[in-house]
Structure 1
Amino acid sequence: MSTPILVAVAWPYASGSRHLGHLAGAYLPADVFARYHRLAGNEVLMVSGSDVHGTPITVRADAEGISPAELSERYHREFLANWEALDISWDLFTSTGTENHHRVTQDMFLRHLENGYIDKRTTQQYYDPTAERFLPDRYIEGTCPHCGYGEARGDQCDNCGRTLDPTDLVEPRSKITGVTPVLRDTEHFYFRLSDFTEPLRAWLDTRVGWRRHVLNFARGWVDEGLQDRPITRDLDWGVEIPVPDLGPGKRIYVWYDAVIGYLSASKEWAQRRGEPEAWRHWWENPDARSYYFVGKDNIPFHAIFWPAMLLGYGGLQLPTDVPANQYVTFKGGKASASRGIGLTIGEALEVFEPDALRYALAASFPEQSDTDVTMAEIGRRINEELVATWGNLVNRVLSMLHKQHGAVPVTGERQSADTELLATVDELLARGAEHIERVELRAGLRTAMDAAQAVNVYLNATEPWALRRSDPERADTVLVTALEAIAGVRVGLAPYLPHTTRRLDPVLGEVTSWSRPEVRVGTPIDRPSPLFTKVDLAELVDDDA
């Protein structure tokens, strides 16, 4: 039976290039997961978009002397180019700058206000007396009170991952002028997160199969006591507040409106299809499942705030799972777009082929712990694993069949070694599905590569190149058996390696389901070209130095 699967992926700030930490942490895992579920016959809706609001955009735009709209459009186009190059299979990648998103955000705001989950409060906010303006949280830096990191932002510490308020910072300073800001009274709307303490606690207790660090983090937040959060800021960039209570110069803040993007993107996708109510199949259907792919710094927003917002709205399905990844580090430092740490996606694509990069990162997904990545390690995985185990296997089998027949030949009777190989590949394909279903994507990839290695072992044991002289019919049977096994391995690798999977379509047919397809006798086999190019490890080591 087909299941509706919502794959909701973190919205990248359109304030700078995304790095490999973002790709390995959220976008590539989501794509692997979505591709698998499509092959498994499920109804997948995978959505995300550029987050064009919030202070990271305005801070960068101010520094460059351009408008936030100009800056966000530049990086939105860059993101789209990255996704196309990597073949990320979005159903929709949009932005929070659309009229649709503003309308859906305002609808949720009004529902929360009507239900009593938003109220207006006078609060103190930092003001820069030199710039003569209030400072939203990203315009303030200081020392984190939890870990002592000296460059924490007014909304979050990049070092320890704790969410902050600007007044939490030790020795705060304005990013605009560098002066110490002063506190002044201002009015804002607050979301009453504390009202959801017990409902969230009860819901978290029902979560099965969540990663331990995600569940522990979320429960820890609830146990510490949830704090009401301001959801408006003194800004002129963002979603307009749909009531006039606060006066001019204020907008709905990004942490409230960005997560609504999953819902607004689903509605936009439905509208573009000419089926404006189709989104309900994923959002109001109790049989639907939803998975939110984010980094661990986004756990509170997706395991606490967003579920509370959904509860406060009513009638919408809460997350099935939030498989947040740990951090990707580069030479021991956390990848960070704002601090310029880590290789950008565009830079990596200048060095590595798209599928090769996808493979190396998938083999290192930081699912349970932080993972350090270097150029040399990426190159090693490509050469020693992807090329040696999979690329060379495909090339040598197709080369022998092309040389001898130019097509898939008729085979003789199979022996036990042949049927055992195909049974092994089928078993590993089923095991890979179980891993991916549990969002154990590294294990899913490892299982597919184990299947590829099983074919290599079979060929080395049967030696069809030697059989060609003594028993050509047996040699053909071995090679066709290996080709059928390759067809099964290819299915297991298809979610990870979409470009090179399609290159084998002329011989093996299009991959349309999660099962080993038949190989048709008589299918032409042209002279193959290598699926992957080995990389120069010495050059990559120099780049890491």
Structure 2
Amino acid sequence: MRGRFRLGTPLDPRRLGVSPGSSCLSHSRCCSRLRSLCGALSDARRLVSCASPSRSRSLSEQKQTRKILVAPAWPYASGKRHLGHVVGFAVPADIFARYHRLKGNDVLMVSGTDQHGTPVMVTADREGVSPREIAERYNALTREDLRDLGISYDCFTRTTTRNHATVTRDLFRTLYEHGWLIAQTTLGAFSATTGNTLPDRYIEGTCPICGFPEARGDQCDNCGNQLDPADLINPHSIIDGSTPEFRETTHLFLDLPKFAARLRPWIEQKSNWRPNVRNFSLSLVDNLKPRAMTRDIDWGIPVPVEGYPEETKRIYVWFDAVIGYLSAAVEWAQNRGTPEAWRDWWQSPDALHAYFMGKDNIVFHTVIWPSMLLGYGEGGQLGAGNGDLHLPDEVVASEFLTMEGKQLSTSRAIAIYVRDVLERYDPDPVRYFLTAAGPETQDTDFTWAEFLRRNNDELLANWGNLVNRTLTNAYRNFGEVPAPGELTAQDEQAFESVAAGFSSVGELIEQARFKAALAEAMRLSSIGNQYVDHEAPWAVIKEDRERAGTILYVALRLVDTLKLIFTPFVPFSSQKLHELLGYEGWLAGPLEFREIEEEGGDKHAVLTGDYSAWLQRWEPSDLPVSQKLREPEPMFKKLDPGIVEDELSRLDVA
């Protein structure tokens, strides 16, 4: 039986994608076998090299690194965030960032809460408090949600900082002076009952293009077209149902048609973009219209142009929100005492910029933000003639997540809030589900039955099972990493097959194919389970302790290697496994809040972390023989089927 066992078709060494810096097996009796394997792979990246640990680290340090900006969309600070939000901007971005850090790239992940705009004002009016109070409250709650979900920002800030206002005014003023912002008279919506400005997102009606009855005043979520409130058929206020009044008002418009000739070829060459992003963006560029970048409100960044008093005019929330990707990088550089460091990401043609969002935000990141960057050029106080600001390279937009057949909507009270979920479940099963079953390329329905199944039948039964039985058998019988004897062909093939995952999983993550990447990681875990099933160390140890030790050594090495491959997806359990294997220190963390004081004395908290302390890289690990193991404990909890009924009873869904 054992002689006929195969883990799969032998791999072409050129596909291994394993860094040459990892250490060989320590025990002398197996080194000769592995050295011969290394020799066979001399023209490719090796499965295992015979370098010392110190040499391994130096080789990792010698790798050419790339500056990578990871830019998750800015959530509104107007309410609690639900799973439909974080499945688009947070979890995919974190997988991407963690992977590239493990690869040794220089990652800067920045974002924050969008404190301005009419959603914040409406919440404030409803609760009878100031917009600033609402923004501060939900900034704190959002930071806690993202920290507890393990979203590893370098700087998660807010749009009410002095720094952000300075950067926003610089871009606005420069675009105005260059003629890209033009004054136009338009119809503004006002409440018939209060006389106040009605935010475009709080006016609904029938879409004049597709007939969708719940189109918003700025965009139809059904067909994706941009709209103005006056375009809607039978518009009404979602606050009190009244029909809005439309009055003439003057605003500054970004002259988008002037950018069409540059936008189209730029988008056309983005063959790496998801089809939904590229095709939708191309459909927009031939029909661009000037878009208003000011609003008739008194909450937001004042317009830095004469004739637009701050009492009645402020900069459009989406204009200043996308600038946050730049201003947060500037803030990060200032906070670490290297105020010009942001330029390494923003004014380098060799950098990589990856943006993450839901599909309803595509237009802002593929049309409006690139136009703003093109219009700004090298000018302005911030650019200072040091080079153009970098355009987006990757725009990763997820489809919508529905909930038990209903579209998630905070305003319609249909939501599964992040905080509520994390109070009842560990973060890694949530991250796993959102990745494995999320709306990567099509709308996906969240059901509690499927959440239960994914946790129990996949995460727990596959990866959790491999870890638990490997560590349990090794701990009970040896208490440490056992010294291996002679390796069999099956042992070597197991190493080779799993080590190939650094290439296969890594390539999929780089392509933003996170669902496929996680499925590949689970396939590799299945290979580990097949190996343990076939070799049966619990039975072998009764007759051959040395061979049982070798099997468990191989299994521990597989688990230790898979630990790294799973880290971008389920970082909390990977850290736990890191410690159970006897390691000290952090594998992937920690995240923390830090208080920042700006010039003038203003203080605010940011979500950040010191990720330079991460101990390992995207390559096979070096698990030392005789390293003491800690007493095993389950990686994941088995969920009771009764949670489905319990959770459904909590939902206020018709």
Indicate whether the TM-score tops 0.5. yes
2-structure distance, mates of 1:357, 1:123: 45
> CA 1:440/1:42 → structure 2, altered by over 3 Å: closer, same or farther?
same
Distance 2:246 2:152 in 1: 47
- The residue that corresponds to 1:481 in the other structure is 554
Tell me the equivalent position of 1:227. Answer: 289
Q: How does 1:91-110 map to 2 (within 5 A)?
A: 91-110=154-173
Aligned-residue offset at 1:176: 4.9
1:136 offset after TM fit, Å? 3.2
- Render the CA deviation track for 1:486-542: whole Å, top value 9, x for unaligned: 111111100111111111223264452001102111111122111111111232245
Please say if residues 268 and 278 of structure 2, whose CA atoms lie closer than 8 Å, have aligned partners that are also in contact.
no
2: CA distance, partners of 1:487 / 1:292: 31
Q: Find out whether 1:390 has 2:452 as its counterpart.
A: no
In 2, are the aligned partners of 1:127 and 1:182 still within 8 Å (CA)?
Answer: yes
Match of 2:266 in 1: 203
Coordinate RMSD, CA, aligned: 1.4
The residue that corresponds to 2:124 in the other structure is 61
Alpha carbons of 1:208 and 1:149: their partners in 2 closer, same or farther (altered >3 Å)? closer
Deviation at 1:401, TM superposition (A): 1.1
How much does 1:338 deviate?
Answer: 2.3
- 1:179 alignment partner in structure 2: 242
- The yes-or-no answer on 1:457 pairing with 2:561 is no
CA distance in 2, matches of 1:58, 1:312: 30
CA distance in 2, matches of 1:435, 1:337: 32
* 1:274-289 equivalent positions in 2, closer than 5 A: 274-289=337-352
2:94 is matched with which residue: 3, 10, 31? Answer: 31
- Could you say which residue in structure 1 is the equivalent of 2:298? 236
Counterparts of 1:65-464 in structure 2 under 5 Å?
Answer: 65-223=128-286, 225-247=287-309, 248-314=311-377, 315-464=388-537
Cα pair 1:155 1:164 within 8 Å, conserved:
yes
Change over 3 Å in CA distance of 1:183–1:526 after alignment to 2: closer
1:200-248 Cα deviation digits (max 9, x unpaired): 001112213110111000000113x101001111100000111221234
Kept in 1, the 8 Å contact 2:481–2:556? The answer is: no
1:272 counterpart letter in structure 2: N
Taking the aligned partners of 2:397 and 2:582, their CA distance within structure 1 comes to 35
For the Cα contact (< 8 Å) 1:128–1:135, is it kept in 2? yes
What letter corresponds to residue 513 of structure 1 in structure 2? Answer: R
CA contact (8 A) 2:190 2:196 kept: yes
Residue 381 of structure 2 is matched in structure 1 by: none
C-alpha deviation, 1:470, in angstroms: 1.5
The residue type equivalent to 1:385 in the other structure is E
What is the aligned length? 544
Question: What's the secondary structure of 1:294's corresponding residue?
Answer: strand
Aligned partners of 1:475 and 1:134: how far apart in 2?
74
Choose which of 596, 599, 622 in structure 2 pairs with 1:518: 622
Decide which moves more: 100-109 or 326-335. Answer: 326-335
2:556 paired with 1:505:
no
Q: Which moved more, 1:394-403 or 1:331-340?
A: 331-340
| CA distance in 1 between partners of 2:507 and 2:237 (Å) | 50
Query: Take 2:192 and 2:411, find their aligned partners in 1: how far apart are those partners?
Result: 26
What per-residue deviation string (whole Å, max 9, x for no partner) do you get for residues 102-140 of structure 1?
Answer: 111100001101111001122222233431233331342
Residue in structure 2 matched with residue 47 of structure 1 by the alignment: 110
> Given that residues 197 and 296 in structure 2 are in contact (C-alpha distance below 8 angstroms), is that contact kept between their aligned partners in structure 1?
yes
Helix, strand or coil: the match of 2:183?
strand
Per-residue CA shift, 1:320-344, capped at 9, x if unaligned?
0101111111122222222222311
Structure 2: runs of 5+ lacking an equivalent? 1-63, 378-387, 588-614, 650-654
8 Å CA contact retained: 1:487, 1:508: no
Amino acid at match of 2:519: R
Runs of 5+ unmatched residues, structure 1? none
Aligned mates of 2:643, 2:355 — CA distance in 1? 37
* Aligned-partner SS, 2:397: coil
Distance 1:92 1:324 in 2: 21
Deviation at 1:142, TM superposition (A): 1.9
Distance 1:254 1:337 in 2: 19
User: Partner of 2:637 in structure 1?
Assistant: 533
Q: Note if contact 1:11-1:50 (Cα within 8 Å) is conserved in structure 2.
A: yes
| Distance in 2 separating the partners of 1:484 and 1:298 | 43
Question: Secondary structure in 1 aligned to 2:480?
Answer: coil
1:543 alignment counterpart:
647
Residues 331/160 of structure 1: CA separation in 2 closer, same or farther (3 Å cut): farther
Distance 1:464 1:183 in 2: 77
Matched to 2:338, the amino acid is: E
Q: Which stretch has the larger CA shift, 348-357 or 412-421?
A: 348-357
1:505 is paired with a residue of what secondary structure?
helix
Further displaced range: 127-136 or 323-332: 127-136
What is the deviation of 1:366? 1.5
Q: Aligned equivalents of 1:331 and 1:426: distance in 2?
A: 39
Query: For 1:293-327, what per-residue CA distance to the aligned partner results, in whole angstroms no more than 9, with x for missing partners?
Result: 01100111101111111101111110001011111
- Counterpart of 2:643, as a letter, is E
Using the size of structure 1 for normalisation, the TM-score is: 0.97
CA distance in 2, matches of 1:52, 1:450: 43
